[in-house]
A and B are shown apart, each in its own frame.
Chain A
Amino acid sequence: MNKSLNTQDNTSVSRREFFKRAASVSAVAASTVLLSKEALADDPAIMHHVPWGQKLGFPVTHNRYGMPSPFEHNVLRRNTKLLASGNFQASIAVAPIHELSGIIVPNGLFFSRSHGGTAIVDPNEFRLMIHGLVEKEIVLTLDQLKKYPSVTRTHFIECPANGGQEWRGPQFNSLQFAKGFMSCAEWTGVYIKDILKDLGLKPEAQWMLAEGSDNSEMGRTVPVDKVLDDAMLVWGQNGEALRPEQGYPVRLLVPGWEGNLCVKWLKRLKFSTEPYYCKEETSKYTALKPTGKAIQHFYANEVNSTVTSPSPEKPWKDVKVGDLIEIEGLAWSGMGTINAVDLSFDGGKNYVEAELKGLVLPKCWTRWSYIYKYEGKKLLLTSRAIDDAGYIQPTIDQETSVMGVESVYHRNAVETWEVTTDGKVNHVQIRS
């Protein structure tokens, strides 16, 4: 009955067989193994004293704010001219998810998108105005806002254009660019519903305008339904203050929904009966369908997944037939919690179930894993996630049959890595 148990059983049987075979092979080759041990060159990393082991290290006063090892200097947000205005101000820099582990993105690598550059807000001059259809309109300083009872939640933020350059075919041979328009962090702030208990939301309120204080006064309309569910005003990111790129000192967090709704450098919340038609909810972030009609107010990032290891950036190296390799990936859904992830080795014809690992939280990155015995064959690795809201990732054909190829936003169809017999990884798509 239990499929995953059976799978495990099969694996352990095959593993036993593998070791049995390996044992008989090594019995035959025992003498050569001994010989080759003597023939192996000594590793200087072991035989020599390493320089850092012989000289005194930096004092604890060095780098009062800790920095990554200098050897990690290539682990960076990256950008491309295709996705930029002018001099990279109204632009995006994407997260190096091929280098990340776990579900928390370090603050310096969290993807960054702005519509008028990164504002450096003086926290002493920060003011938040809450007005419109509330019984009591207020202005808060940062200290006053932080007095409200805080909550801490782990959520991803994803730009709905993640993967949006590839509606008509694969374009990026890179995990960072194909899926890096997102990151995940632990956020601390206050539920807006808790503030509204005090202010008294009028029953006719349907919408909330959230507006930033940045150069572009980036704004978006949020339905009150979501505000009263789980929308937060956040000031903490992975234990420290938000980074300027994430809206220091305060941003809106609308868990699971389009990243641009999480308005940064926040200054104003206004409640109203009618929506606002902000620039970024009309000219952009609307998904044009083949009918000529575009979806506006397209909120939740739908269930999605990707293989993170291997990736085009980090192919399989030094693998031999029979080696056990962990295939790893991420899954996420803005509509709920990841229930399961399937993995295909033939581009989506047949699937087996992968294992979830670590924390499995709502509207949050979830790690998954599958231990694969390398057979030396070419593979088409496709992952497919299922969430607890009842959604499964569509095939490319299923999604384009409704959305066409001009939508730009909200592409969540399954993606495929081709792994060649020498371990190289190519981004391909399986579609008609």
Chain B
Amino acid sequence: MFKLDRKFLVALSISAASLLAIGCNGDASADAQGHMSSSAKQSVYANGKAVIDGGVTYPTVNGKTSQYAVNTKIPSSGFNYGRTPTANELEAWNTDVTPWKLPPKGQGSVEDGEEIYEAKCVMCHGDFGSGGGGYPSLSKGNAYDLQKTLTNQRNIPDADGPTREFGSYWPQASTLWWYIHDGMPHPKTKSLSIDQVYALTAYIISINEIKIDGEEVDDEYVLDQEKFSKIVMPNVDGFEPKIDGKGATDVVRAYYANPKNFGGQNLNKGAVRCTTNCQEANATVKRIQGVGISDFLPPMNVTRDMPVEKGAPTPGEKDYQASCAVCHADSSMGAPAFGNKEAWAKVTSQGMETVYHNAINGKNGMPPKGGTDLSDAKIKDVINYMVNSSK
């Protein structure tokens, strides 16, 4: 058992400090430009290992860490707060799914997955995962082909960028299963059964054309725990530094010790920073194209004046914002968009009673009452609000 012991830590920091005295980019003396550092700092932790992110750490010296005073009299044990979780509590929350912790046993077919997708996912993620409404697309085609686009750079106008989809980019399928189970669908997360999650995972793997154990994932394919364990994502080796296995944090540590890996500029001790003629010879002034991105909400305004008084909210406005704007805020999900005169003129041409009826009973992609449990009267208020705001 490894308990942190204060004396042990102090002993280590003393030895670390002596290591530093013989050179390391972090010490508490003057830096390259003659500045005094304001506080003791080290580029190694108390255990003698280099700081993992390439930065420095501030040991407690003479009761202070950097400029903060520290209560050094805190005992290292004896805070017996809380209680042991029960086995059931641990099971209820220990829901992570990783390459080392498979999802629970269960199964689901691509076909079932498509059905669930059409009912619960398509409104945000689009047909066949094509995206929409600002929510992520789930596939742009064959994952193996698209993985090859990851070296694309949009350095010139109209160049194709890299395609960072689930299939072409994500290193592990466990991430997908875990996220669908705990974080999807947004309107009611943690509501899908284990089998439904397998089915949706199978469907998403299928539309990305990923093979499992050499086998194509077609409509009849049934994904289960064993087959899931055999999924190898096309971009599994596409990430650095490596974070798996014993000693991985030391691999990460070594990676960030070298600024060339991540585009950092190290000002080595003794080096004088450039103050004259520091620019690349061919550098020029690049300007924003047109007005750039300027659709700020609310619009930029730096005046100091009294705000315009707002009246009471229109009936239906609050419920619209809370429940209906998800789909009706724009036209990306096929619903008549809030404020679109043309679309709403078409809707209301059927007569308001029909509009109320359709809203309450559902129409096209919209479930009854848009999936809400609002009363009929409240739904009518929302309809009136949307119609009146779109004239």
Contacts and interface: CB of A to CB of B under 8 A. Distances in A.
B366 interface: no
Interface of B: 1-4, 25-26, 31, 33-35, 37-39, 41, 43, 45, 49, 51-58, 66-68, 70-71, 74, 76-85, 89-90, 93-96, 98-100, 124, 133-136, 150-155, 161-162, 164, 166, 169-172, 174-175, 178-179, 182-183, 186, 189-190, 238-241, 243-246, 248-249, 252-253, 256, 259-269, 273-280, 282-289, 291-298, 300-307, 325-326, 329
Contact of A431 (B90, B169, B283): B283
Contacts of B239: 286, 293-296
Nearest to B287: A428
B25 A335 contact: no
B349 to A, nearest CB: 27
Interface string A115-144: 110000000000001010001111111001
Contacts of B70: 151
A74 interface: yes
B277 A76 contact: no
Contacts of B154: 168, 405-406
Contacts of B265: 391-394, 398
A300 B259 CA distance: 12
Nearest to A226: B52
Contacts of B172: 277, 282
A90 B37 CA distance: 41
Nearest to B308: A73
B31 A138 contact: no
Contacts, number: 412
A336 B56 contact: yes
A398 B277 CA distance: 15
B26 A388 contact: yes
A84 to B, nearest CB: 5
**Which of B37, B68, B96 has the largest number of chain A CB atoms within 10 A?**
B96
A177 B239 CA distance: 29
Given A147-B79, A297-B252, A337-B41, A342 B56 contact: no
Contacts of A389: 25-26, 43, 54-56
Contact of B90 (A131, A147, A292): A131
Given A282-B175, A430-B286, A225 B275 contact: no
A42 to B, nearest CB: 23
Contact of A224 (B74, B161, B249): B249
A410 B276 CA distance: 27
Contacts of B264: 302, 391, 394
B388 to A, nearest CB: 20
A380 interface: yes
Contact of B98 (A229, A274, A333, A335): A274
Contacts of B301: 74
Contacts of A333: 55
A116 B183 contact: yes
A313 B81 contact: no
Given A71-B304, A169-B286, A217 B183 contact: yes
A12 interface: no
A172 interface: yes
A296 B302 contact: no
Given A70-B306, A116-B189, A297 B151 contact: no
Contact of A198 (B78, B186, B278, B285): B78
A348 B278 contact: yes
Contacts of B285: 347, 380, 416, 418, 428-430
Interface residues of A, number: 157
Contact of A140 (B77, B82, B179): B82
Given A71-B306, A360-B38, A430-B283, 6 more contacts: A201-B2, A225-B249, A275-B243, A296-B243, A388-B26, A392-B265
11 contacts: A171-B288, A229-B45, A268-B93, A279-B183, A295-B239, A361-B67, A362-B39, A390-B267, A392-B266, A406-B162, A432-B280
Given A361-B67, A392-B273, A339 B81 contact: no
A174 interface: yes
Contacts of A399: 263
Contacts of A256: 53, 55
B33 to A, nearest CB: 6
Nearest to B90: A131
Contacts of B85: 129, 131, 137-139
B240 A295 contact: yes
B55 A352 contact: no
A297 B240 CA distance: 8
Nearest to A274: B100
Contact of A267 (B58, B83, B93): B93
A229 B57 contact: yes
A393 B261 CA distance: 15
Interface in A86-137: 86-87, 89-90, 98-99, 115-116, 129, 131, 135-137
A139 B166 CA distance: 35
Interface string A360-398: 111000000000000000001000001111111111111
A218 B183 CA distance: 8
Contacts of B57: 229-230
Contacts of A147: 79, 81
